[in-house]
Amino acid sequence: MFGLFKGRRRRRLAAEPFPPAWRGILREHVHLYRRMPPEDRDELERHVRVFLDEKEFEGCGGMEIDDGVRVIIAGHACVLLLHLETDYFPGLRTILVYPEPFLADDPEVIGPGIVIEGGEEVRLGESWDRGHVVLAWEEVALAARRSRDGHNVVLHEFAHQLDTEDGGTDGAPLLEEPGQASRWAAVMGEAYAELREAVARRRHTLLDQYGATNPAEFFAVVTEFFFEKPTRLAREHPDLYAALADYYHQDPAQWSVSGSP
């Protein structure tokens, strides 16, 4: 019954006219919105409508939350949902926004149930499996301005949210078909191993070397590149690009752009 009510509410929200002021924010600050086909823009607006109705935003460290902050974050996050059967990041309740990079504890897991508290480190974003995404607005705004450089903290952290939907954070999101899972494991595993080897040998890589940290970070990093630098990813890592295109049901290398990312 709750699922039926939720579906009706979402359809009602999606059918409402999209506020022109919000469309202006997307057009000005979400470059992916400008690049995608018109029908995808329409779908993105519907997703943004639902997302903003269901998720809470909380300012931290003196951060003021306004429609600009909310729509820019939602616009980037909902790019990941296009063409997917989505429940809108079901484990997520609140987006915490700091004005600038923030300090976070860095505990070390050394065994089952054994955690050593580490020191603090500066973070641009975090994705928790307990209902929160944390973002540094300074980095979100910078990513909105520096289009197509391969880095986007919102895409990165919300890719982690997708990763957790199957119950684990392991670089393998919830896949639609059993056969897709085996192809995913083969392609992603090979690309991850190649990146780790390149980092160990101190070779230059197209992908951000942070992706060599673990499979979960690799998925988040390649998601950033898939949308931010799609033509280069398709050219230099065609199997990896194809696996992501198959999962996301999108082909951003074919989107209309001025210049090649």
* Residue 233: CATH number of its domain: 3.40.390.10
- By residue range, what is the domain housing residue 155? 2-254
Average pLDDT (80-101) is 94
Does residue 158 lie within any of the structural domains? yes
Does residue 243 lie within any of the structural domains? yes
Q: Which residue has the tokens 């915490």?
A: 96
Question: How far is it, in rounded angstroms, from Cα 128 to Cα 136?
Answer: 15
Residue 106: pLDDT band with limits 50, 70, 90:
low
User: What pLDDT is recorded for position 116?
Assistant: 38
Question: How far is it, in rounded angstroms, from Cα 82 to Cα 230?
Answer: 16
> pLDDT tens-digit profile of 48-60?
999 999 999 999 9
User: What pLDDT is recorded for position 247?
Assistant: 96
Average pLDDT over all residues of the chain = 88
Model pTM score: 0.89
User: What pLDDT is recorded for position 168?
Assistant: 81
> pLDDT tens-digit profile of 192-201?
999 999 999 9
Does residue 90 lie within any of the structural domains? yes
Does residue 261 lie within any of the structural domains? no
Does residue 217 lie within any of the structural domains? yes
Q: 145 pLDDT exceeds 90? A: no
Does residue 248 lie within any of the structural domains? yes
Does residue 259 lie within any of the structural domains? no
Least confident residue range of 4-13, 150-159, 231-240: 4-13
Query: Count of domains in the chain?
Result: 1
Sign of CA dihedral 132, 31, 85, 179: negative
Q: Measuring CA to CA, which residue among 261, 235, 255 is closest to residue 152? A: 261
Does residue 153 lie within any of the structural domains? yes
Residue 156: count of CB within 10 angstroms of its CB:
25
Question: How far is it, in rounded angstroms, from Cα 163 to Cα 172?
Answer: 6
